[in-house]
Chain A
Amino acid sequence: EAGVAQSPRYKIIEKRQSVAFWCNPISGHATLYWYQQILGQGPKLLIQFQNNGVVDDSQLPKDRFSAERLKGVDSTLKIQPAKLEDSAVYLCASSSPQGRNEQFFGPGTRLTVL
């Protein structure tokens, strides 16, 4: 079974630029999550989708971050404009109702903002 796919794996941008990340969850997983993991910290949930609807985006900085999952499968996370403190690994995860609450993570996108 293919895992969660993410791209790009690495991205370096300057502050005030825009960036987008892509995620393809495990086939059949209805729930998709985006996390931000800053060095030395645990992952922090940014947004959770159930199919193409948003379940929780309470910790998403909506003035600069946006995410969509238009067809209920792939998802994109965008940052516009980026700040230095956005440097982190952005992890995508997916889960299914039958999965004992287990979330499967992709390899992440490591973002560096200069």
Chain B
Amino acid sequence: RKEVEQDPGPFNVPEGATVAFNCTYSNSASQSFFWYRQDCRKEPKLLMSVYSSGNEDGRFTAQLNRASQYISLLIRDSKLSDSATYLCVVLTGGGNKLTFGTGTQLKVEL
């Protein structure tokens, strides 16, 4: 079983749609959780951290369910500029080691 699993997509959605990505992780000792965004042929960049109580940043909402070892990202009112790959990332251990999922590709269309 992979440490971090995501549906690779692609998710093709019309502009203005709401889309949700899911991610599961296998190590129950994982400490911190993140969503990174990676544009085509670019480097990954931090989108947002994921907190146990859930957190929101504009149109983006992240949720964590530790019991189910499940993380989600909700994007409301999708924009063309949201088209990218969204990487689910888990921090495990004391050495700041990040484990990345394979990423979910989102394509927002007119």
Contacts and interface: CB of A to CB of B under 8 A. Distances in A.
B28 interface: no
Interface residues of B, number: 21
Nearest to A33: B98
B30 to A, nearest CB: 12
A interface, how many residues as a size bin? 20 to 34
Given A42-B87, A105-B44, A56 B95 contact: yes
Interface string B58-86: 00000000000000000000000000000
B42 interface: yes
Point out which of A55, A91, A95 has the most chain B C-beta atoms below 10 A from its C-beta.
Answer: A55
Interface in A15-70: 31, 40-45, 48, 50, 55-56
A42 B43 contact: no
B91 interface: yes
A100 interface: yes
A45 B98 contact: yes
B43 A107 contact: yes
Interface of B: 4, 8, 32, 34, 42-46, 49, 87, 91, 95-103
22 contacts: A31-B96, A40-B102, A41-B103, A42-B87, A42-B101, A42-B102, A43-B87, A43-B100, A44-B100, A45-B97, A48-B95, A48-B96, A48-B97, A50-B95, A56-B97, A95-B96, A100-B49, A101-B32, A101-B34, A101-B96, A107-B42, A107-B43
